[in-house]
Structure 1
Amino acid sequence: MKILTSAVAAMLLAAGSAHALTETYSQSSAMATTNWSNTFGITQFDSSLGTLNSVTLTLTGTVLGNANAESLDAAPSTITLNSSANITAAFLATSLSVTVSPIATVSFAATSYDDDLDFGGTSGNSYSGLTNFSTGTGTLTSNLAAFIGTGTIDMTLSAVGTSSGSGPGNIITQFLTQGSGLATVAYDYTPTSSVPLPAGLPLLAVALGGLGLLRRRRKAA
């Protein structure tokens, strides 16, 4: 009886306590040639739901590019091409921002200049579909006022191309860099109202308490 009564008490305590919940919103910018910037309105946290504890911003950025290179050098060399971009999600009204830098790298061995500037032959090369992605996260736990309300808060998604090449002192490179971004905002909050008790649970607790009292009286007699 004691064990059963304790179990019911634990159920009452658990049912009456509030647990943190999460509400999420996402926005994305499709693959496009850098440099670009887009602004989105993210739904604010409704304070009638509870107390906002933190805001977490998760960003996945993808780079996709083409790269060409031709060595004009008099000696053989190794050429490395990087298709890359800095992709950023930021709430400009706050300090919350995340930047990721996806990069796709390729290298090739080039001979001395083959006297044909065609990004091919033995001294050049061309690549398409160079792609990679990167994910980053940032969390804000204070100064959350800008995220609370019944409207929206502006979030900016942007991409800046940073593609580059390296190799001999005499080299020509060409790049076409594209980027995309997916940003997810998560509101972690504690609800204002507790979870309602099952209808029969309080009556069960009273009944068990009465049985326990009756049992003690019988033992005393």
Structure 2
Amino acid sequence: MTTDAAPFLAATRTFYDAIAEDYADRFRDVHVAQPVDRAMLAAYAQMVGPGGQVADLGCGPGRVTAHLASLGLSVFGLDLSSSMLAIARRENPGLRFEQGSMLELDLPDGALAGAVSWYSSIHTPWERLPDLFREFRRVLAPGGHLLLAFQSGDEPRRHERPFGHPVTLDFERRRPEPMAELLAGAGLTVRVRTLREPDEALGEPVAQACLIATRD
């Protein structure tokens, strides 16, 4: 079940429900096309190791979920958008996908060996990030790893009428240093930090950041 208690959750779900098919077609290979991103996902998979349960939180059409599964992880996806989940289930019938909010995960404390937020925290307001990161920590077992990817910068980018659909949403950009501080405040220690320049072949406008943090 999803919750609309926070307006930004409802706005995010509405946005992605509207653009799901176009988004999935446009970004079919982008998540694993960049060699540094592939290397980070592979390193993360090795840090988690086989056998432990991993959640791809904000999984969208399930491309990263499937890639992590191909790297040997026991992984399932979660997303707000029913339209995105329909694509994920259609394209990955062997994987599990659930609807829900990252802020209210229907998981016991310490249930996960790993949690992945691959560009899915970018619609969460800054003031709600501590809540989000505490929820990530809650569901991670001691020694569990969080992978967090996001666009680096200070100003959000507003997407209006993407693919001609009458929806609008802000995509937040954040600097790695304050994000690492928020993670530390939630009880997650950053072990790996990368910042790569925009990949022109992928049409990226800004640098891309990636953090791997561990629950103490």
TM-score > 0.5, shorter chain as reference: no
User: Normalised by the size of structure 1, how large is the TM-score?
Assistant: 0.24
Q: Which has the higher contact order (CA 8 A, sep 6+)?
A: 1
Answer 1 or 2: which has greater strand percent: 1
Answer 1 or 2: which has greater helix percent: 2
Structure of higher CA gyration radius:
1
User: Normalised by the size of structure 2, how large is the TM-score?
Assistant: 0.24
